[in-house]
């Protein structure tokens, strides 16, 4: 099963960060990278889902930030001019009321993505990258 | 026969170090230099910032870094990403634009050759010829597993390369087309995914004997074991024939020395390097063979440099035999 080792880079080990505006919490964010040896256009992402501490996050609560822009998960399949460089993390901001608590949290990322050059006989290889890791909330 | 083949390196061999950010682009070039390599290939979609629209500044810097580390730019590797869009495949105009861009980027960074993929189509491949001649950059198509020279589309490509494209349009055979057995990292991964070791041994033996797949389907195997058995059969059962080299050697501009895992300097049970390298050498090939380590698809804990050193030792021994 080619490509499987690249799933190790999907969920970045960087801390979860609460986001505040003038002391008002507007959600929290963490980072993911594209799970491949190379970059790809965002349009190759067919599905993207997140769970934090076992709870699914609704698509509408997620903002996917990359290349100085923000996208809804539902917009990604249209982003055929937005390239995700393999070493650049995307920031996943969860726009929910209330800060995420201190300490460790379980974060699961599921990405279904098409490998765009694999259509040897018409069918593209579509990969499931499903990774769960523990991230710690940034202090201060 | 005297060996005139040079071993180069595809920087893609350092995928693990690059994507886990233990080495950056310049550090990889430095490592390639320190390992004694001269000719290098870059996979643009992997290492070039802002690709597929890199800046002129970066391309000039790339050229300067190659010179700094005394490396010779050999091949700029491009893709035909047919499936970029969710609603349709790329159009002819789009494929031409991407390919023309890569030819120009390669030129700016000092590379004399672009490697593309079979999905370019014979019609578009032919249309790229005047651009290649104008820029002085060759365009080559990689022949990668599961393709081989006898496929009709490759007959057409070879005809273009041998006739109007001679000297400008060529082929890059990849050793994956000669693989017959699964490699160790694939087997280790199969066990990680739940195959029982004794069942996996049985499957590998059945693969080597080309056993009837019905014995797998109706045998005492789990779902994942059946999946692995079928994948193994699909991937490693139709290797290209060694005698086909003579049909392609005159249009072979570059070769991908693909390998997945070596635990010694002497032999690989998966790819027949002894026969491959002596055949290519004795046919008079004088270009580069890239060391192309690809085990990073399966295991990110393997040290790429150790793998490359085994590969160079193995190839050197065979080529000088």
Write down the domain spans for chain B: 6-180+241-319, 184-232
Given this model, what pLDDT does residue A122 score?
A: 62
Q: Respond yes or no on whether ipTM tops 0.90.
A: yes
Total number of domains constituting chain A = 1
> Could you tell me the CA-to-CA distances from A117 to B21, B90, B136 in Å, in that order?
25, 11, 26
User: Beta strand pairing status for A55-56 and A45-52?
Assistant: antiparallel
Distance (Å, whole) CA B8 – CA B65: 17
pLDDT of residue B29: 98
Which residues, at least 6 apart from B181, have a Cβ–Cβ distance to it below 8 Å?
A: B204, B207, B208, B236, B269, B270
The pLDDT of residue B150 = 87
In tens, the pLDDT along A33-59 reads 999 999 999 999 999 999 999 999 999
Burial of B61 (0-12, 13-18, 19+ CB in 10 A): middle
- Which one of B14, B22, B45 would you mutate to disrupt binding with A, by most A Cβ within 10 Å of its Cβ? B45
Which pTM does this prediction carry?
0.96
Pair of tokens at residue B29: 């070039």
Distance between A28 CA and the closest CA of chain B, angstroms: 25
Flag whether A138 is in a domain: no
- Cis ω before B124 (30° cut-off from 0): no
Q: What is the dihedral of CA B114, B116, B121, B126, to 10 degrees?
A: 10
Backbone angles phi, psi at B79, to 5 degrees: -120, 160
Q: Give B-chain residues touching A9 at CB under 8 angstroms.
A: 19-20
Contacts of B79 in chain A (CB under 8 A): 116-117
Residue contact A83–B52, C-beta within 8 A = yes
Torsion (CA) A91, A97, A99, A104 in degrees, nearest 10: -70
Residue-range definition of the domain harbouring residue A35: 4-133
Examine residue A87 and state whether it is found in any structural domain, yes or no: yes
Between chains, do B84 and A5 touch, taking CB under 8 Å as contact?
A: no
The per-residue pLDDT for range A115-140, each reduced to its tens digit, is 999 876 668 999 999 999 999 999 87
Beta strands in B148-287 (DSSP E): 169-173, 255-259
Nearest Cα neighbor of B151 from A14, A120, A5, A53 is A120
- Picking from B133, B48, B52, the residue whose alpha carbon sits closest to that of residue B97 is B52
> For residues B273 and B17, what is the distance between their CA atoms, to the nearest angstrom?
26
What does the pLDDT look like over A78-98, one tens digit per residue? 999 999 999 999 999 999 877
C-alpha span between B161 and B139 (Å, rounded): 10
CATH of segment(s) B6-180+241-319: 3.20.20.150
For position A121, what pLDDT does the model report? 60
Q: How far apart are CA B89 and CA A5, in angstroms?
A: 28
Instruction: Answer whether residue A48 is part of any domain.
Output: yes
pLDDT at B48: 98
Chain A residues with CB under 8 Å of B12 CB are 37
Q: Which of B28, B55, B84, B189 to mutate to test the interface with A (most CBs of A within 10 A)?
A: B84
How high is the pLDDT of residue A15? 97
Q: Is residue A139 part of a domain?
A: no
pLDDT digit of tens for each residue in chain B (321 aa)? Answer: 788 999 999 999 999 999 999 999 999 999 999 999 999 999 999 999 999 999 999 999 999 999 999 999 999 999 999 999 989 999 999 999 999 999 999 999 999 999 999 999 999 999 999 999 999 999 999 998 888 898 999 999 999 999 999 999 999 999 999 999 999 999 999 999 999 999 999 999 999 999 999 999 999 999 999 999 999 999 998 899 999 999 999 999 999 999 999 999 999 999 999 999 999 999 999 999 999 999 999 999 999 999 999 999 999 999 999
């Amino acid at each position: 099963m080619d490509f499987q080792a690249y799933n190790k880079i999907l969920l970045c080990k960087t801390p979860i960060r609460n986001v505040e505006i003038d002391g008002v919490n507007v959600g929290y964010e963490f980072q993911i990278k594209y799970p491949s040896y190379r970059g790809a256009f965002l349009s190759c992402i067919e599905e993207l889902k997140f769970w934090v501490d076992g709870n699914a996050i609704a698509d509408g609560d997620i903002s996917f930030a990359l290349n100085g822009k923000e996208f809804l998960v539902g917009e990604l399949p249209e982003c055929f001019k937005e390239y995700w460089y393999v070493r650049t993390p995307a920031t996943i901001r969860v726009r929910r009321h209330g800060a995420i608590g201190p300490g460790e949290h379980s974060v699961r990322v599921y990405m279904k993505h098409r490998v765009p050059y694999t259509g040897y006989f018409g069918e593209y290889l579509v990969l499931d990258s499903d990774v769960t890791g523990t991230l710690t909330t940034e202090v201060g | 026969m005297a060996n005139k083949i040079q071993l180069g390196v595809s920087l893609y061999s350092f995928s693990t170090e690059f994507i886990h950010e233990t080495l950056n682009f310049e550090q990889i070039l430095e490592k390639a230099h320190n390992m004694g390599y001269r000719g290098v290939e870059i996979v643009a979609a992997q290492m070039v910032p802002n690709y597929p629209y890199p800046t002129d500044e970066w391309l000039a810097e790339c050229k300067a870094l190659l010179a700094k580390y005394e490396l010779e730019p050999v091949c700029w590797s491009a893709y035909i990403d047919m499936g970029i869009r969710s609603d349709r495949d790329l159009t002819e105009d789009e494929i031409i634009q991407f390919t023309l861009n890569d030819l120009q980027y390669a030129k700016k960074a000092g590379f004399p050759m672009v490697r593309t993929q079979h999905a370019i189509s014979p019609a578009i491949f032919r249309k790229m010829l005047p651009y290649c001649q104008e820029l002085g950059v060759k365009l080559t198509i990689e022949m990668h597993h599961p393709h081989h020279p006898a496929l009709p589309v490759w007959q057409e490509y070879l005809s273009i390369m041998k006739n109007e494209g001679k000297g400008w349009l060529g082929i890059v055979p990849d050793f994956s087309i000669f693989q017959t057995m699964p490699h160790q990292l694939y087997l280790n991964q199969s066990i990680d995914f739940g195959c029982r070791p004794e069942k996996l041994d049985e499957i590998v033996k059945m693969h080597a004997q080309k056993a009837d797949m019905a014995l797998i389907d109706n045998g005492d195997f789990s779902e994942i074991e059946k999946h692995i058995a079928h994948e193994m059969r699909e991937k490693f059962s139709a290797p290209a024939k060694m005698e086909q080299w003579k049909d392609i050697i005159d249009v072979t501009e570059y070769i991908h020395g693909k390998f997945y895992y070596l635990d010694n300097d002497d032999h690989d049970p998966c790819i027949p390097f002894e026969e491959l390298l002596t055949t290519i050498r004795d046919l008079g090939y004088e270009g580069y063979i890239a060391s192309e380590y690809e085990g990073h698809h399966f295991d990110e804990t393997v040290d790429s440099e150790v793998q490359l050193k085994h590969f160079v030792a193995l190839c050197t021994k065979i080529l000088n035999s």
